[in-house]
Structure 1
């Protein structure tokens, strides 16, 4: 495949030392003392254990972060969220996908994962080619080999869940190679290769001391178990072979038995330091490796920054959070209130699953600590200036309390936007919240709203124990062991800071509750879209129609008491007409992405396109 992935020759020295700055300031001996960085040769890199480890660390970037493509990943393609078309950097691809129009010519508008992963696969292949006869002490080299086997497995796993079978390439291409004709391997061949790579990583990493943020034996075990779960899932196991579920069961149980426990609190799982009791593998950030752009805060901050709000949670997702009595607020139609729940649509944010308050920012949420220069203070979500009074509003519309008793700042008359006092968006900080809800889970309120220079506390958690508890429950449902499935679902629900009632359902209702629990627990962790794909459960979810949310929120200050920061909120629910339209599910071919046409051409048509995308 003669394309951008393989254009660089093996002797490209600048490429080989791209990672050295990652740790140069911490090295006081070795090659850095002998010659300047721009004089380091390829041989030096692969002969020095310190430089080589830096090369390996650079390859970690081949693990696509959860926010890619664009902040939020693929969650905006599901029933959990919508993307703001004006601000999302993959908006055109998202729109094409939801309209059923994604094809080999426009797929890169949604994701460039093919090029991205093969670029890093090439870097891993270069590593193995140059360390095959290395003189580096095996005690230092073998763990690095284990890391690289894991990374190559991860990259092929990621490609396989996008495209199915892909070309298995285990050597680097150079500009001198005579042919770039490479055909696709089958999905099963790719999956088996991933398992082989994981087994090599497990063996090579056995006995190494786990270090937060570093690939470990447990991480390799986790990836192996995840691959086996995908192999057993309906998309890849149409005949429902029980042996595939049994293989996934054994591998998942091995992860569960590896010594991890649930962290007692859910709300700080995604902030530094890494919670090594539950977290199997995560990536944190430093001043040398900051989150790209301004990070989650810039894109997820309540009401956005510079009108940049990218993702809104849907009413469908909000309704997934049960009441503290274990009942859903609405019946399955999402419109009819569940009479057993005690839910009040005009007081919707009380007595909810505790994870709700960590997941969603809703009207009346807060107060949050807002680090914003001269305006730094504790504020309610609705603080931002309501500078555009709307004549349609009905009185009373003005807060009788002129000062915030907590900080002495003037209180603004938030009710004056009428149609929605913050959803409609008559001010720069409000106008992107189409559904009335934003995400909270990955925000760092200890830092500034947006800064290129601040080291935020967020992490990317790639694997944690709760996922494997839920994976194990899914496997037990498939194997007919419902009691064991409920036990592991309830383990997640019984986390100390959550402590929700046990589920007791069976049959189809148990499956529904399992999938609901998974959406709540793992949202924004790169799970929902691929879960719907592997379950073949996209209809009604990917093509959610209509998208519902808050269409109107007003505030009544009648009866306000001294010190009240909010009056009485009134909520109106309905269809979000501004959301990108979603057409009916196009068919089973949509469970795989099309391979970019350009890649097929560059392979001299050796790569066969996925069915349905000719």
Structure 2
């Protein structure tokens, strides 16, 4: 699906261009031509609604292609960027490196405006279809617009989820505010926000399509195309599984220690039941798949369809940011620096993360007795996801001039070594996950790419966490009257089996299983913007984010022999409890006439 651009360019340039980052900005409401908007026809109304997708997260949106992983124990970012302030503790209401408060409220305002102005959409879009020849088009457009309004409501709920996992409770705004009403907006509680997200997911679910490819059946009271055709322009739009996955994610955050001081079991049970709903629903069947090719989840080697929830793709993808074929900027940034045009500012995976990948032969953590780990050959017999995620010394990444595979020279004295030039790895490692690895970045070559925002493996791990906390690792109780499809352990083992990793054994205690599950999330979801928030919702960031970030110094001793020495890349700072939540931007607090209260400690 292309990145959706507005057709009504003049109208939207005025409407969107006038938006400032401040939450309380009301220029958008004042500066667009309402009559032009509501009478501009189906195509323009649809384009405005589709514009709500444009606010979906870009995972490299932190300056110079940096990922949020560089502000967690997953990685370091090799160039100066504001994201480093997270690691030094030098951030706050005036200078948050992830200052998205105004951005997501801009997205919410866009959604509210569209929903308010298209309440009477059945009348608005019939104006183009008054003759008999166009009546069939009206039926098709009516169905499409009905679904689009549900999609916009989902996206609004998604943006609220992005806000609350950063700020806690935020103001719930579901109408276009006037200048005066904006100044009196107060925060809702975290639980109120979660309830809103869950309610929106439940209400839009029946309206969303189950899948857009081969879209065209419903019958009876539901209108549809009825031709059984395939319309690729719909690929990437929100479908029913996304609503159920977002509901589960929101309930999991509500049950987690950061927002569940009393560790109420009922919250874990609610999250587990939401996971069971996902497994039981026939409309999620096309995404209940664990793609056997881990790299193809993030970069398309041959077809863009792999990067969408397309039925039949067997990808397990539930939601992506609509992909863009925008050259090889991300690859050029993250390729090893010894490659011409490569290494412009890499995200360098940490030794902390590398150590989290277990042994393939035994299924044990590397520090466990009997694991089989050999520190003189540290990458031998490791979880295969390590190789899919991280580029280690002497592994293949990119092409030589003669088009042969290039071995990464990240050992001391090598062309890709620590300090070889600006932008080089600071840890001894380069990023492989989400990077197209097999073309020449010196050429104007490119591959389609998508930022995967939801996928089936996360659903399984979210469910497993809730099940373990509510019932333990191996129980399979009835959940809202439905027998549990999986125990917590069985759900995790599905993810491990796809990676060809040994199953977690029966009989683990709840706490031991919790540790193994958290590690499984760490390796499976690395660099997908989960770890940064996971350690906060678990309230363990005081430990994980205050540990030194480690790298690996590699020395070449022969043609194929090396020595390995871990070292400290940098000391990091996390101040709890205040840094568990972001501060609200100073300007929004100052402009709220006292109605918007700051998070504690800021």
TM range (shorter): 0.7 to 0.9
2:256 pairs with 1:233? yes
What residue in structure 2 maps to residue 60 of structure 1?
A: 53
2:401 matched to 1:364?
no
Partner of 2:596: 607
User: What is the CA-CA distance between 1:59 and the residue it aligns to?
Assistant: 1.0
| Cα 1:329–1:239 shift into 2, 3 Å | closer
* Contact 1:421–1:554 (CA under 8 A) maintained in structure 2: no
**1:292-311 deviations in Å (ceiling 9; x for gaps):** xx542132223485652332
For residues 105-153 of structure 1, give each alpha carbon's deviation from its aligned partner in whole angstroms, at most 9, with x where no partner exists: 222xx11210110111111111011101221364232101111110110
1:41 aligns with 2:10: no
- Does structure 2 retain, via aligned residues, the 8 Å contact 1:435–1:549? yes
1:551 to 550, 553, 563: 553
Structure 1 residue corresponding to 2:151, chosen from 147, 154, 165: 147
1:202 to 202, 205, 213: 205
Cα separation, 1, equivalents of 2:594 and 2:268: 36
Per-residue CA deviation, residues 40-73 of structure 1 (Å, 9 max, x unaligned), is 932344xx22222222222112222222334353
Give the root-mean-square deviation of aligned CA atoms: 2.7
- Asked whether 1:586 is paired with 2:570, we answer no
Contact 1:320 1:520 in 2 (8 A): yes
Structure 1's 207 and 98: CA in aligned 2 closer, same or farther, altered over 3 A?
Answer: closer
SS in 1 for 2:38: helix
Q: Give the unaligned 5+ runs of structure 2.
A: 1-18, 126-137, 214-233, 475-486
Q: Residue 431 of structure 2 aligns with which residue?
A: 439
Superposed CA offset, 1:266-311 (max 9, x none): 2211123326431112234245xx38xx542132223485652332
Trace 1:527-546 onto structure 2 (pairs within 5 A).
527-545=530-548
Q: Is the 8 A contact 1:117 1:155 kept in 2?
A: yes
Tell me which residue corresponds to 1:122: 109
Aligned to 1:76: 70
Residue 279 of structure 1 is matched in structure 2 by: 317
The CA distance in 1 between the partners of 2:442 and 2:202, in whole Å, is 42
Q: How far, CA to CA, are the matches of 1:521 and 1:213 in structure 2?
A: 23
Q: Deviation at 1:344? A: 2.1
Q: Displacement, 1:448?
A: 4.1
Report deviation, 1:207: 5.8
> Distance in 1 between the 2:275 and 2:330 partners?
31
Matched residues in 2 for 1:256 and 1:532: separation? 27
Say how many residue pairs are matched: 514
Q: CA deviation at 1:376?
A: 4.5
Task: Tell me, in whole angstroms, the C-alpha distance in 2 between the residues paired with 1:152 and 1:57.
Answer: 12
Matched, 1:315 2:351: yes
1:201 deviation in Å?
1.8
Change in Cα spacing, 1:533 to 1:490, as seen in structure 2 (3 Å) is same
Q: 2:566 aligns with which of 568, 573, 580?
A: 573
Taking structure 1 as reference, are residues 238 and 346 closer, same or farther at Cα in structure 2, changes over 3 Å only?
Answer: same
Give distance in 1, aligned partners of 2:289 and 2:334: 29
Q: CA separation in 2, counterparts of 1:76 and 1:252?
A: 30
Q: In the alignment, does 2:273 pair up with 1:250?
A: yes
| Structure 1 equivalent of residue 292 of structure 2 | 264
**1:474 Cα offset (Å):** 0.5
Counterpart CA distance in 2 for 1:508 and 1:531 is 17
Partner of 2:407: 380
Q: 1:482 to 1:548 in 2, by over 3 A?
A: same
Q: CA deviation at 1:235?
A: 1.1
1-side partners of 2:442 and 2:588: how far apart?
Answer: 37
TM (normalized to structure 2)?
A: 0.79
Matched, 1:170 2:159: no
Is 2:511 the counterpart of 1:508? yes
Q: 2: distance between equivalents of 1:3 and 1:500? A: 46
SS of residue in 1 equivalent to 2:94? coil
Q: Would you say the 8 A contact 1:3–1:599 is kept in 2?
A: no
Cα distance in 2, alignment partners of residues 12 and 300 from structure 1: 42
**Contact 1:281/1:464 (8 A) holds in 2:** yes
Q: Which residue of 2 aligns with 1:157?
A: 161
SS in 2 for 1:460: strand
Cα distance, 1:240 vs structure 2: 1.6
Inter-partner Cα distance in structure 1 for 2:20 and 2:359: 56
Q: Label 1:489 to 1:208 Cα distance change in 2 as closer, same or farther (>3 A).
A: closer
Partners of 1:379 and 1:84 in 2: how far apart?
A: 22
Matched with 1:188 is: 191
Contact persistence 2:72–2:531 (CA under 8 A): yes
Alpha-carbon distance between aligned partners in 1 of 2:575 and 2:21, rounded to the nearest angstrom: 31
Separation in 2, partners of 1:261, 1:450: 36
In the alignment, the residues of structure 2 paired with residue 224 and residue 443 of structure 1 have an alpha-carbon distance, to the nearest angstrom, of: 30
SS in 1 for 2:29: coil
Deviations 1:150-171 (A, max 9, x none): 0110111110111011111122
**Residues 591 and 178 (structure 1), Cα distance of their counterparts in 2 relative to 1, 3 Å cut:** closer
Q: Which of 448, 455, 459 is equivalent to 2:450?
A: 459
**Is structure 2 residue 373 aligned with structure 1 residue 343?**
yes
Q: Deviations over 1:324-368 (max 9, x none)?
A: 12344632xxxxxx55222222222221111111011010101x4
Q: Is 1:104 matched with 2:93?
A: yes
Distance in 2 between residues matched to 1:83 and 1:130, nearest whole Å: 44
Counterpart-to-counterpart distance in 2, 1:79 and 1:173: 40
Q: TM-score, length-normalised on structure 1?
A: 0.78
Greater CA deviation, 311-320 or 274-283?
Answer: 274-283
Q: Structure 2: how far apart are the matches of 1:362 and 1:348?
A: 10
Matching residue of 1:131: 118
Bigger helix share: 2
1:425 paired residue number:
419
In the alignment, structure 1 residue 324 sits paired with structure 2 residue 356 = no
Q: Closer, same or farther in 2 for the Cα pair 1:340/1:303, shift >3 Å?
A: farther
